[in-house]
Amino acid sequence: MGAILPKTTKKSKTKTSAPRKATLYSVVIPVYNSEGVVSMTIDRVIAFFESKAWNFEVVLVNDNSPDGSWEIIRQRAQGDARIIAINMGKNFGQHTANIVGFQYTKGDCVITMDDDLQNPPEEIEKLAGKFHEGFDLVVGTFGQKKHAAHRRLGSGLMQSLNKNIFPAPDDFKHTNFRLIARPVIDRIIEYRNHYPYTSGMAMMFSSRQTNVEVNHAKREIGQSNYNMKRLVKLAWSIMFNYSNLPVRVLVTMGFVISFFSLLVAAFMVIRALVLGNTGNGWTSLMLVISLSNAVLFLLLSIIGEYLSVISRQVRMERHFFINEVVGHEDDQ
């Protein structure tokens, strides 16, 4: 189930070229518990594009935030035709919020970024430069991350998973600060998966990928909504929805245990033939049987999890719902 991806990937830190002004840039920002910073984020994004005189739109997706984030972005959308505000019916997670935002964009490319200003909007210029060099996926990498320790640990886990499930060069890195070309966005929208994963799908459907180093700012207001529990849950979903990695691991374990079981069995037979004593070996036999049964139960559990995933995919065409849309696309 792992995706087969193109091998053409480059990593560059060279100075970006000036993008074409005719390009329409769409910026998608998932919003959650950010009432203290989201308005500043919007202001910085708008100020950047206006300073460059580039065409743009901003799509803000409120992921059913319990604070006042929705009211803020709703008012901003009512006062600015370049802003679209979407209110999700439940908390579906950052990646679903991205996919929903993609469906409301019109741009030649889409930029995804966080709502907390840790991705400085001014760094968009570096992503745009690589886009106009012909890359259809440009991912910003951070020279020095300002995340907390648990977030850096989680990021390391996700990088490892990405390398094993979505083949890419060893030095390619994933972050939430990325630019995706329109054709790739269209393929992502068409792809049906109950658990969307933006980084993985972008790798699956892009032809030319590159990293570009960008600044990463310290979060000044609030705290990250990601914790280890959410990161582990995301990793679990990726493994079962985009690969057969769990099955391969257990099958390998099964072969190893079977091999050692055969060795133990052969030893017991030889000892019985040589010594004529068949009364011993009960503990070893029970150990082999117990280990073998444990592997079988684990394998059946993994298969059951895959069947559950397939069932959800078949019976649900859309895995999310929207309460309200404010902006020039509110008739969709």
Exposed (0-12), middle (13-18) or buried (19+): which is 133, by Cβ within 10 Å? middle
Listed ranges 101-115, 156-170, 229-243; the one with the highest mean pLDDT? 101-115
The reply to whether 86 and 180 lie within a common domain is: yes
The reply to whether 32 and 69 lie within a common domain is: yes
The reply to whether 184 and 286 lie within a common domain is: no
pLDDT in tens, 16-48: 444 555 799 999 999 999 999 999 999 999 999
For position 3, what pLDDT does the model report? 42
Q: 237 in a domain, yes or no?
A: no
User: What does the DSSP assignment read for 180-245?
Assistant: EEHHHHHHHHH---SS--HHHHHHHH-SSEEEEEE--PPP-SS--S--HHHHHHHHHHHHHHH--H
For position 11, what pLDDT does the model report? 45
Q: Which of 29-43, 58-72, 255-269 has the lowest mean pLDDT?
A: 255-269
- The number of domains in the chain is 2
For position 92, what pLDDT does the model report? 87
The residue behind tokens 């060279």 is: 14
The reply to whether 222 and 274 lie within a common domain is: no
**Residue 172 belongs to domain with CATH number:** 3.90.550.10
The reply to whether 186 and 303 lie within a common domain is: no
User: Which domain does 147 fall in, by range?
Assistant: 17-226
pLDDT higher for 265 or 188?
Answer: 188
The reply to whether 118 and 195 lie within a common domain is: yes
The reply to whether 213 and 75 lie within a common domain is: yes
Q: Report helix, strand or coil for 120.
A: coil
For position 331, what pLDDT does the model report? 46
The reply to whether 167 and 289 lie within a common domain is: no
The reply to whether 95 and 206 lie within a common domain is: yes
The reply to whether 134 and 259 lie within a common domain is: no
Q: 5 in a domain, yes or no?
A: no
pLDDT in tens, 174-208: 889 999 999 999 999 988 777 788 888 898 899 99
The reply to whether 256 and 210 lie within a common domain is: no
The reply to whether 91 and 190 lie within a common domain is: yes
